[in-house]
Amino acid sequence: MKTLHLLRHAKSAWNEPGLPDRERGLNKRGRRDAPRMGAALAAEIAPQGIFVSPARRARLTLDGLCEGWPALAACQHTSEEALYTFDAADLWRWLMAADDRKPGLFLIGHNPALTELVNELLGQRQLDNLPTAAYARLGLALDSWVQLQAGCGQLERLLPPRQLAG
């Protein structure tokens, strides 16, 4: 059994026309939601290393998570070029190449790739959209990441920031 933790980056800023997509930061809501999600996740799961898209908004989301979840800041996090994608097939390939010694992986990435990945792993369309800064945990019925296949997952937790108090 493997566990996949997915978090879509927090709400990004669009206030600088001409800024490359990769360089966009977070807007006010994004800067608010990331620490709140960190605090909420700290109450549910153990701190662990996170694989994050190199996009600035994804890295800033990780910084915000660590702000709300200080124990997470002590973990080793890795920026992965392959996670800067909007295509679930790219994420699928990356997951299939993952180290089998890791019983779980935590990714911060982008839509529509994350929503599509969740639905493919569940074997049916259950999620219309993974909102910004939302967290999804899937239990995967496999012993090796290379065994990844459609329908091998079960949605164990879905936590959008709008469900948080305050």
pLDDT at 7: 98
DSSP H stretches of helix in 23-140: 28-42, 56-68, 70-73, 88-96, 113-122
Residue bearing tokens 């153990």: 46
pLDDT at 19: 86
Average pLDDT of span 74-82: 97
Alpha-carbon torsion 59, 63, 64, 66, what sign? Answer: positive
pLDDT digits (tens, 9 = 90+) for 104-150: 999 999 999 999 999 999 999 999 999 999 999 999 999 999 999 99
pLDDT digits (tens, 9 = 90+) for 9-48: 999 998 878 889 999 999 999 999 999 999 999 999 999 9
pLDDT at 1: 94
Residue 36 CB partners (closer than 8 Å, separation 6+): 68, 161, 164, 166
Q: What domains does the chain contain, in order, with CATH numbers?
A: 2-163 (3.40.50.1240)
Query: In this structure, what are the phi and psi dihedrals at residue 52, rounded to the nearest 5 degrees?
Result: -130, 145
Strands 2-8 vs 135-140: parallel, antiparallel or unpaired: antiparallel
pLDDT at 14: 82
pLDDT at 166: 65
